[in-house]
Amino acid sequence: MNLAPDNQAPLCAAPDPAPRQPHLRLPSLSCDTHAHICGPAARYDYSAQRIYTPPDALYPDYRAMLDTQGIARAVLVQPSVYGSDNTVLLQALAQDPTRLRGVAVIEADTPLTELQRMHALGVRGVRCNIVDVKEGKGRLPLAHLQALARTIAPLGWHLEFLMHVDEYPQLDELLEDFPVDVVFGHLGYMATGKGVEAPGFQALLRLLRGGRAWVKLTGPYRISGSPMPYADVSAFAHALTEAAPQRIVWGSDWPHVMVKGAMPNDGDLCDLLSDWVSDPVLRHQVLVDNPAWLYGF
């Protein structure tokens, strides 16, 4: 990563411009549940508090990647670089309303009329960055999260957490009575070196089995200590799918802003599913049935 001149936030590399078709044949109506649209930077300002600066990652480029992969549906997630300004996200959703759904970032006092407008454009959830907003190790800002949940509950939305689950060994107890479903990105977002027996990851498995949580198989390069094919991630993917196959979804994490090593090709990332979810029936559930239910396709 190079340094951006305005606030010294690292400048991320662009995704592979020539995504290849995966060797794995994806089922019809497969869904990529995690991608970000960024830019153009010349038109839309990034937050001064951002921790990275993405390349322009525009919807036509993302759509071309989906078409190459054979992916019919997608979920765009508000990137942290825009804070709670969802302009770019909502404009992208409006371009392809049948194909797309969204996860926005909002304030707890966002008017219902604005939420209803977002819902009409395809928003089905709200993202919360717990990684950067902490009340102490192992504690969650529950009052804030519950206020958000009460705001979105009438719309049937969920909360998506960006958090390191290993920091919360009582995660299942903290969220057992939460008023809306919760979604965890990046397989729980903990370093694989800590192992699947880590108390926080085991708490995530218990929460999954309880039927109110979901997990995204996304961003293996964010948690792996190995290069592609990120072999140390497999045990985590298997543990999650075995715990609650009806609560697992998959996503590309395009444009891969947190890659620290070699930029992976999206075809190679998709082919990881051959190991992570080897059974074709289960793979159909993860790629088609589960996201259709969670995002209302």
Q: Which residues are known catalytic residues?
A: 253
Is residue 19 classed exposed, middle or buried when 0-12, 13-18 and 19+ CB atoms within 10 A define those classes?
buried
Can you spell out the DSSP letters for 106-132? --TT--HHHHHHHHHHTEEEEEEE-SS
How many alpha carbons lie under 13 Å from residue 241 in its C-beta half-sphere? 23
Residue 154 is which amino acid?
A: P
- Residues 6 or more apart in contact with residue 98 via CB below 8 angstroms: none
Helix (H) or strand (E) holding 219: none
Can you spell out the DSSP letters for 12-58? PPPPPSSPPPPSSPPPTT-EEEEE--B--TTTSPPPTT-S-BPPPB-
Q: Both tokens of residue 230?
A: 């990120």
Cα–Cα distance between 88 and 56 in angstroms, integer?
12
Measured at the CA of 243, the angle between CA 167 and CA 188, to 5 degrees, comes to 30
In terms of Cα–Cα distance, which of 178, 162, 171 is closest to 139? 171
Query: What number of residues does the chain have?
Result: 297
CA distances from 250 to 27, 31, 269, 279 (A): 13, 8, 11, 15
Q: Both tokens of residue 11?
A: 């400048």
Cα–Cα distance between 282 and 297 in angstroms, integer?
19
